[in-house]
């Protein structure tokens, strides 16, 4: 099996803009992706990320709110928010506000949260994978509840909320879409229960063909998970982070087109690339991005 079987062969194209530039520079980028016609634009929801923690880094939610003011059509999201430093009662207020400011353009990327700076900076315990998924399950259920219902009280193993409010609620009803990161069986079951979208990074590897093999395996696993949960696989959007592969997707516009087509053949509805950086992570040439942006209609048809 190679995906859920799509009725429309149209691929949506998204881009991540890291929050590592002052707004005087970042503003141009967000406005540009809206003008170019990207379908969705994302930023990382971290307090600091890998070796970039020592450089400039800005808050994701403030950045997205500013981005909403310089865009009009592109959807905006976090790739991804996690319980590492988010609490659903406070986070729901931020989500609701951005959904209002953007007039219903929020895609809420969610994940279990990894180890590293985010999990250490607040002085808390670094959790093993099983406990991180346990916490993620509770976080997702509580966030879903608060965004849909007013006056939520909750006492769980990881989280507590007392009369948490959501008034006036999201512009998108019954709440903003959850685009949930998942590679393992338990997280995929959470996606089947709560997600409107699923995002994967594959399972790593130094060889791009091996990486694509893991992506195919995960896509099949997601389909089986949905079927076992009694959910039509066609009801879930599937997002692939192309730059988790060992080769940057914007190496050339032709290479991006090849990767988009491969993702479509595996049943993905959406792909995400990254705005090229001068060095280090996602190092590349902005001229390639400009060329790829001009080809967006063709890239969509590559699906």
Angle at CA 29, nearest 5°, toward 118 and 108?
A: 45
Enter the tokens of residue 228.
């076992």
Determine phi and psi for 144, rounding to 5 degrees: -55, -45
- Predicted local distance difference test score (pLDDT) of residue 303: 56
Q: Whole-number mean pLDDT of the chain? A: 95
Per-residue pLDDT tens digits for 134-166: 999 999 999 999 999 999 999 999 999 999 999
Residues forming beta bridges with residue 271, ordered by sequence position: 13, 240
Per-residue pLDDT tens digits for 166-180: 999 999 999 999 999
Identify which has the larger pLDDT, 17 or 4: 17
Query: Taking residues 261-273, what's their average pLDDT?
Result: 97
CB 203 within 8 A of CB 214: yes
- Predicted local distance difference test score (pLDDT) of residue 125: 85
Name, in order, each residue with C-beta under 8 angstroms of 139's C-beta and a sequence gap of 6 or more.
82, 83, 86, 88, 110, 158, 159
Per-residue pLDDT tens digits for 210-265: 999 999 999 999 999 999 999 999 999 999 999 999 999 999 999 999 999 999 99
Per-residue pLDDT tens digits for 6-63: 444 689 999 999 999 999 999 999 999 999 999 999 999 999 999 999 999 999 999 9
- Predicted local distance difference test score (pLDDT) of residue 206: 85
Query: Can you give the pTM of this predicted structure?
Result: 0.95
- Predicted local distance difference test score (pLDDT) of residue 9: 61
- Predicted local distance difference test score (pLDDT) of residue 6: 43
Per-residue pLDDT tens digits for 59-104: 999 999 999 999 999 999 999 999 999 999 999 999 999 999 999 9
CB 111 within 8 A of CB 135: no
Per-residue pLDDT tens digits for 178-221: 999 999 999 999 999 999 999 999 998 889 999 999 999 999 99
Nearest CA to 238 among 258, 265, 278, 274? 265
């Amino acid at each position: 099996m190679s995906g859920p079987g799509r009725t429309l062969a149209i691929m949506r194209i998204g881009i991540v803009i890291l929050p590592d530039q002052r707004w005087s520079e970042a503003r141009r980028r967000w406005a540009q992706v809206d003008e170019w016609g990207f379908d969705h634009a994302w930023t990382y929801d971290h307090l600091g990320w890998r070796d970039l923690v020592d450089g400039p880094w800005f808050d994701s939610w403030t950045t997205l709110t500013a981005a909403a003011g310089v865009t009009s059509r592109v959807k905006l999201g976090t790739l991804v928010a996690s319980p590492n430093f988010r609490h659903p009662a406070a986070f729901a207020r931020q989500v609701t506000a951005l959904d209002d400011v953007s007039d219903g353009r929020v895609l809420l990327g969610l994940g279990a949260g990894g180890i590293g700076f985010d999990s250490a900076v607040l002085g808390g315990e670094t959790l093993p994978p099983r406990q991180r998924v346990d916490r993620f399950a509770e976080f997702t259920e509580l966030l879903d509840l608060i965004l849909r219902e007013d006056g939520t009280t909750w006492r769980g193993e990881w989280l507590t909320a007392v009369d948490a409010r959501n008034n006036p609620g999201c512009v998108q009803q019954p709440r903003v879409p959850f685009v949930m990161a998942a590679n393992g069986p338990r997280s995929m079951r959470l996606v089947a229960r709560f997600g409107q979208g699923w995002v994967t990074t594959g399972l790593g590897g130094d060889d791009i063909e091996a990486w694509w093999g893991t992506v195919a395996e995960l896509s099949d696993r997601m389909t089986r998970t949905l079927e076992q949960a009694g959910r039509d696989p066609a009801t879930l959007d599937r997002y692939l982070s192309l730059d988790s592969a060992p080769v940057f997707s914007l190496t050339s516009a032709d290479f991006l087109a090849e990767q988009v087509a491969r993702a479509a053949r595996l049943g993905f509805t959406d792909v995400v690339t990254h705005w090229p950086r001068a060095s280090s992570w996602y190092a590349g040439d902005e001229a390639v991005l400009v060329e790829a942006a001009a080809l967006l209609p063709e890239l969509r048809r590559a699906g």
